[in-house]
Structure 1
Amino acid sequence: MRSEHHGVATAVPRLRDRPIREGERWIYSAGFNVDRSLSSTARIDTELGDIGRIMDSGGRVAILSHQGSHRDGTAVDLDFVAEYLSDRLDRTVAYVPENDTSAAEARARALRPGTAAVFGNTREHHGEQRNDPTLARRFAALGDFVAVGGFSKAHRAHASNVGILQHRPGYLADSVLTELELLAPWAGRADRYSVAVLGGVKPEKTVIGLDAMTGTYDVVIPGGAVLNSVLRALGHDIGSSELGESPDRCLRLATTVLGRHDRAEVHIPSEVVMARIGENGFHDARTVAISDGIPSGWAIVDFVPMPWMRERLGTLAARGGRALVAGTPCRFSDGFRTSATAVLDAFGAPAVQALLLGGDTVAELPWQGPVSTGGGSALHYLAHGTVPVLDALTPTNRELAL
């Protein structure tokens, strides 16, 4: 069931409505996914209120989260997360390296009322991202109730946030509800002028974002791997440009979008900035016509906005409207900033209601306005009005699972 706010589920059990009793054993499914340098802590900070409330009420909290991926061997210990939580919550949060063993269960049961521990990285297990039911059952042994946070992974049907709900009653954390309420103005069709920028390297920016935004926004500006997929679909040689994961799937989607009649004007530049790929970054940058092709060993790092794109951005800035950025449109951190500067200048106008999606985008771009910590989750929600976590928490689906 959905409310008038484009899918903010009023029927989903909410943590804010559930009294916490002293001694209750809670699993908090978080979505911290921050590196050891803690260069950006937004995905932790947004969960502090929910975790703190359970602890303040005498609950015992076993925190499950992730960083990196089992698939590429980047999953790491989360001891630094426990240290950060201890500092911010002003109480000791322990670290338990395991999360699916009898020893981990014993440590969870031994927690005193009002205390918490971060357990091992869920993505140390191959079964986490496959939503393995056996792993989900082992995670469930850490508590009796589940608080589902981690909006950044709400679009992922993983063992620690969806599979676990087949074994324990779950409640949606305020951190997720806040994100859903934030996204409402950017959802669906609107009478206001709308511009969407889709960049970065993750496939959902193409498969979900390009597919949905071209039907609901007036202008869509592809950048990054999204633009490279579009150019590839048009038959251009893009050399060694970044295509991200699932390049063939993104190519098929880009081809489909280009072949249909949508609401949006899709910006396709005639000139791009290419640079030679070297051991220490990009070199010999130059502006070229995309029709001339990009040679092997070179990559597209930015693009030159077409005159009509600058005109549309001017219209947006002057008249107002809504705008979003899902993924950086260029290699901004490497010094290639033409397209991003044009976009951010327009999106920063007082009359524009603009939003940046995703941790990487927020960390990379100089933006002081509204942000969402979940890029893929936000796109999934804007496109479909729901995410797998909401579906798993709805009463009908919960009854079927249990």
Structure 2
Amino acid sequence: MVKKVVTDLDLKDKKVLVRADFNVPMKDGEITNDNRIQAALPTIQYVIEQGGKVILFSHLGKVKTEDDKADKTLRPIAERLSELLGKEVTFVPETRGKELEDTIASLKNGEVLLVENTRFEDIDGKKESKNDAELGKYWASLGDVFVNDAFGTAHRAHASNVGIASNLESAAGFLMDKEIKFIGGAVDEPQRPFVAILGGAKVSDKIGVIENLLDKADKVLIGGGMTYTFYAAKGIEIGTSLVEEDKIELAKTLLEKGGDKLILPIDTKTTHEFSNDGVIEVHEGVIPSDQMGLDIGPKTIELFTKELQGAKTVVWNGPMGVFEMTNFANGTIGVCEAIANLTEATTIIGGGDSAAAAMELGFADQFTHISTGGGASLEYLEGKELPGVSSISNK
């Protein structure tokens, strides 16, 4: 079903509850990367322009004890958001109660309020994370309509997304709508040829994604640490490379199912230890017994670049090697460049480490869409129904 978008709602004079994803990295009380806050701005600004009152909800990390509260407060988020919006953001250091209710009641059109970390409700019985019905109903009572713009939590049924949506008319924010259109559209109605590139360390993390994309894509290119479990399934010696012994039989099944559609690396960049400083070699096929593969090799970069030529839809999830080490970043850089050069294709990064890699390597502007959700993106690529999406009102 097609979901309502924030533009479908009448927002003037309304108290608009917005679930944003402000789960940003912090160090010593300082935000180290504000990309997720920046990504929420279009929806917040739209509500302001339409004369609504913005009441923001978000979690930040996991909160298990009272001691966790000190470094998990959203106060720094409110301060940064205020700078980005160029207007005051009222912060309420509570998740319920009279102070919160009175402050919301006093809001004027176009004003913005941020509620304290929703996970503070998890200290006593995981009420947020377990979608406590009473909590969802209470939060919903604070507003007139609900906008869910937090794709990063869409794969979880929490009180602050599904719980509120169960009690109010709801719509997707602009960010959520983009995720639904790009990732959902790529998997369900791709322009062809459709090429998927999957990396990362473990086959076990990507089983559902590989299986689903083997059904949907025209080609599936495999890189990263999971390569070596597939190599082992083919009887290729992998030295001391990462391998999931208990997934070798599964890898054999996937190789059979994929046939010519499933494409593995043809050479590997290796070293003797998990370090950026060791002697580097490149091997085709067999990896020596005292070496480990940490990146795809130059011939594989050429092969993958060739396989991408002419693609109309590309989805990439997972780096090709240990890109954090400069000597083993070439595979990820090569794939980034190859995708970035596809000017007539819809190119999508499915969150997580590959999104971080593209941003870090300076390729962010050259992709059609970079997902903000790691786990949510993976589950969407698997073809799973996401509770945070399905709970949004249908048009």
Q: TM over 0.5, yes or no?
A: yes
2 CA distance for matches of 1:127 and 1:252? 40
2 CA distance for matches of 1:103 and 1:273? 59
The residue number in structure 1 matching 2:85 is 89
The residue number in structure 2 matching 1:267 is 264
2 CA distance for matches of 1:133 and 1:293? 57
State yes or no: 1:304 paired with 2:297: yes
2 CA distance for matches of 1:371 and 1:35? 21
Contact 2:318–2:352 (CA<8 Å) still a contact in 1? Answer: no
The residue number in structure 2 matching 1:175 is 175
TM-score normalised according to structure 2 size:
0.78
Deviation track 1:281-314 (CA, whole Å, cap 9, x = no partner) reads 654254476855877xx9753232655x733522
1:30 partner letter: A
Match of 2:329 among 319, 322, 337: 337
- 1:30 deviates by 0.8
Match of 1:323 among 314, 323, 330: 314
Secondary structure of 2:90's aligned partner: strand
1 CA distance for matches of 2:375 and 2:204? 6
Unaligned runs of 5+ residues in structure 2 are none
Contact 1:356–1:371 (CA<8 Å) still a contact in 2? Answer: yes
1 CA distance for matches of 2:207 and 2:279? 29
Deviation track 1:325-348 (CA, whole Å, cap 9, x = no partner) reads 212222212211232133223223
Contact 1:326–1:358 (CA<8 Å) still a contact in 2? Answer: yes
Contact 1:199–1:326 (CA<8 Å) still a contact in 2? Answer: yes
Secondary structure of 1:63's aligned partner: strand
Distance change in 2, residues 1:20/1:43 (3 Å): same
Q: Aligned ranges for residues 78-157 of structure 1 at < 5 Å?
A: 78-101=74-97, 103-124=99-120, 125=122, 126-157=126-157
2 CA distance for matches of 1:190 and 1:327? 20
- 1:78 deviates by 1.9
Unaligned runs of 5+ residues in structure 1 are 2-8, 397-402
2 CA distance for matches of 1:79 and 1:57? 26
- 1:28 deviates by 0.6
2:223 partner letter: G
- 1:205 deviates by 5.5
Identity of aligned residues (%): 25
1:159 partner letter: A
Distance change in 2, residues 1:178/1:321 (3 Å): closer
Secondary structure of 2:131's aligned partner: coil
Greater mean alpha carbon deviation, residues 197-206 or residues 349-358: 197-206
Match of 2:56 among 48, 51, 63: 63
Q: Aligned ranges for residues 18-37 of structure 1 at < 5 Å?
A: 18-22=9-13, 24-36=14-26
Q: Aligned ranges for residues 4-23 of structure 1 at < 5 Å?
A: 9=2, 12-22=3-13
The residue number in structure 2 matching 1:399 is none
- 1:145 deviates by 2.2
Distance change in 2, residues 1:188/1:169 (3 Å): closer
Secondary structure of 2:348's aligned partner: strand
2 CA distance for matches of 1:288 and 1:83? 49
Match of 2:40 among 12, 27, 47: 47
Deviation track 1:336-378 (CA, whole Å, cap 9, x = no partner) reads 1232133223223245523323264333223131232334434
Contact 2:52–2:109 (CA<8 Å) still a contact in 1? Answer: yes
Distance change in 2, residues 1:315/1:121 (3 Å): same
2:52 partner letter: G
2 CA distance for matches of 1:189 and 1:179? 14
Match of 1:346 among 315, 338, 342: 338
The residue number in structure 2 matching 1:186 is 186
1 CA distance for matches of 2:43 and 2:79? 18
